[in-house]
Structure 1
């Protein structure tokens, strides 16, 4: 059923870290944890074993608005998050939080399949950021195809794509 799938685009709202929803059974679940669990299930599914995943972390603008009011550590998965220094600037703290969330997903992805996760951010109210995300996706697919064809005679050891999760070139820096 998935033989012609080249990539999975998985979207997670950055502003979901403190929001909840209820299952049909009435139990309440954190939306970020629900997204993490769904992501983990998809990545682990045998049908997607060799498929490239791109994580779009959406609603960065909403994160900027709420990050100084509600700490990221509100979500139990992010309990160890603390900003490196006090911020008088919402954008700096939001950028730090974005990077942290991206690394958490990258670590999870790597622990499941041993591959690199491609990550990009979008803003909910900015059409241009969505266009940039799809441009990035096309670049990822092109790179993946060329890598598989060994167009540039690159092996994993010589790749300029770091194996260090913390120094990943796929996490967008602003």
Structure 2
């Protein structure tokens, strides 16, 4: 399914086309050959529900599997696909609102991958348990992505039922695309500033370091 997304009427930039690909994890025994159709995409946006950390599902073959672990495994397979060797990835950690409600009742350590999560004791003006856990999950995926590609994974938090949250996510994605284009221009000698290859992003408010 394809869709067109635009900002407010004040924005004069052309519309950006997004294509939503819904993947059925139960039907992926074909070695991901169909991913070759998307080798010319400019960015891969991978969305995972934070609140899935204690959920289970039944794959076609085998026992029950933790949904977060299943998402991690699917993410890794997509990252390793040769079509995306130079493609930037944006990970959207979605359903933060549901995650925020759940984590005070169900510890994130129920997911084996998060067994070493150790939150700081709450103090005045300190981050909430949910925010600490969000940054922890973001770092886990960043480390996984870096170990595979040697590149930086961009992570953003979203609340799917809040339009403003979705808007912010798309603004962030466009900033990543813009930054990636600047890298390409630099690669071909259009600019001479080696700082573009830093792991730090631009000063844009939509490029948030996790």
TM exceeds 0.5? yes
Shift of 1:148: 1.2
Equivalent residue, structure 2, for 1:53: 89
Contact kept? 1:15, 1:59, Cα under 8 Å: yes
TM-score normalised by length of structure 1:
0.87
Matched, 1:161 2:161: no
Equivalent residue, structure 2, for 1:69: 105
Distance of 1:69 and 1:113 partners within structure 2: 36
Identify unmatched segments of 5+ residues in structure 1: 163-167
Cα-to-partner distance string for 1:60-116 (whole Å, 9 max, x where unaligned)? 000110111000111000000021114799x71100000000000000000000000
Shift of 1:23: 1.0
Matched, 1:24 2:60: yes
Matched, 1:14 2:53: no
Note the aligned Cα RMSD (angstroms).
2.3
> Which structure: larger Rg?
2
Distance of 1:107 and 1:160 partners within structure 2: 13
Richer in helix (by share): 1
Compared CA separation, residues 53 and 28, structure 1 to 2 (3 A): same
Q: Give structure 1 regions of 4+ aligned residues with deviation exceeding 4 angstroms.
A: 86-89
Larger RCO, structures 1/2 (Cα 8 Å, 6+ apart): 1
Alignment length, in residue pairs?
165
Compared CA separation, residues 105 and 76, structure 1 to 2 (3 A): same
TM-score normalised by length of structure 2:
0.72
Compared CA separation, residues 53 and 23, structure 1 to 2 (3 A): same
Cα-to-partner distance string for 1:137-156 (whole Å, 9 max, x where unaligned)? 00100110011101553326
Identify unmatched segments of 5+ residues in structure 2: 1-36, 202-206
